[in-house]
Structure 1
Amino acid sequence: MFQRAILRQTQAARSVLSSTTAAPLALRRTRLPLETEGEKNGENVEDPVRKELEEKKREVIDLKDKYLRSVAEFRNLQERTKRDMDGARNFAIQRFAKDLLESIDNFDRALLAVPKEKLSAPETEANKDLLDLVAGLKMTEHILMNTLQKHGLERFDPSEKPDGQAQKFDPNLHEATFMSKAEGMEDGDVMYTQSKGFRLNGRVLRAAKVGVVKNT
């Protein structure tokens, strides 16, 4: 009887020990299905919230780029419009001024037609009318040129020597009508002005027609 009781206790202890050792194996077996296939392969699972945030961030960046481009294009349009308006305002009288150039040249021709000795002679009854006519022409020309100068039209004479030296030929300002030798002058010097030039707000409206020195 005593031996049987010991045998039953030994068997009970073995059954308890076997059940306790099998439990962790069962737990480990139940954890495996919780892992995803991506985790088994070592891959990172992308968070859907993070993905949506990145997409929104890209959309914000694209909108910012579009806004900056729109602002730059608008500013460029403003600058072009301003330049066009300034150009239209500055050169609105260009065609009108060109039509006046021939009339202005006629003033010079009329004044040059009077011999210098008659203009320097003392005033008498014989030449009083002529001197009055020349004075009237000069006054009219002066008033006309001052009026045109207010609108940006100015005349230049290449034969003038402000520094005591002849001006050099400039194809941007002058048109050479002939070339000739001239003592005491260098090649390329302007020796004669056939017709004066005109500028409109800094732009050459008509080049001056000149004679140029060519000694060689």
Structure 2
Amino acid sequence: MDDSAIFPETNLIKQAVDYLRTKARDSRLCDKLGSGHAHSLVSAALGYKTPQALKAAEDEHDQWIGQRPMNVPMIENAILRMSSPTIEASQARKIADIISDGLTPRCVACNKISANNIPVGDPEFGDSCEWICRSCVDAEHQEDFAACSLCDKPFRIEELDRKGLCPEHRGEFDYDPEELQDMEDFIEYHTKDNG
């Protein structure tokens, strides 16, 4: 199966810009944040001086981009350079948090945008994967995902064994033949005079 069918490319930069504009308005951070200013703030958060520099870096489909530290001083500088800013430089930390949320892939189960979403399975940093929020992993009614009993990483149910263990921990509680023989010998030794 083609990975693009499972992990459709989402332009996370566009998602972050739209999310920032919506959250800034809804949280009364500012009444109206224009698209150009929002693009400048997202670029600054990622350490780029301009949206064009970010676009040239081709990071818009990197699922792990939201896991990078946000550059708060560059956000402050971007605000100070804006003509007619609708937002204050003192709000840079809050803006960075909103952008970090917006740069993280949506939860595959509930569609929530949050920097707290985590990758499903055990992917290497940079690999394409599904992302999920902790509340969906922990939900009792969840039929598609669960956390490994040992490492607590979320997996699709079919990837866990009957003991709730992920591929890395599969067999962790199984006895090897030597341990089984030792247990049988122990039981035989302690029950031979009682029979």
TM-score (norm: length of structure 2): 0.21
TM-score (norm: length of structure 1): 0.20
In terms of fraction of residues, the more strand-rich structure is 1
